[in-house]
Amino acid sequence: MKTLRAMTMGALPAVTAGTSWAQNGTMMNGGYWGGGWMGGYGGAWMPLLMIVLVVAVIALIVWIMRGGK
């Protein structure tokens, strides 16, 4: 349990930094990878990528809670 808590606390700065980076303006006004926020290629693969990442995180949490079996 202490390891899970330490991992959560260690990931917190990365999450907050990622959020602020995503909202810095270049991603929102079309200057990010040429397609803008959810535009161009981002509109097709970004939702799919987010679903895959959420499923992977949930699977990892379930695997950890079951004791790695």
Chain segment 14-66, per-residue pLDDT in tens? 666 555 555 555 555 555 555 555 555 555 667 778 888 999 999 999 999 98
Query: According to the model, what pLDDT value does residue 13 have?
Result: 66
pLDDT-derived band at 4, boundaries 50, 70, 90: confident
Is this prediction's pTM over 0.85?
no
Measured distance CA(57)–CA(69) in Å, rounded = 16
Query: According to the model, what pLDDT value does residue 26 have?
Result: 57
Domain locations in the chain? 42-69
Give SS3 for 38. Answer: coil
Give the CA-trace dihedral at 26, 29, 31, 36, to 10 degrees.
110
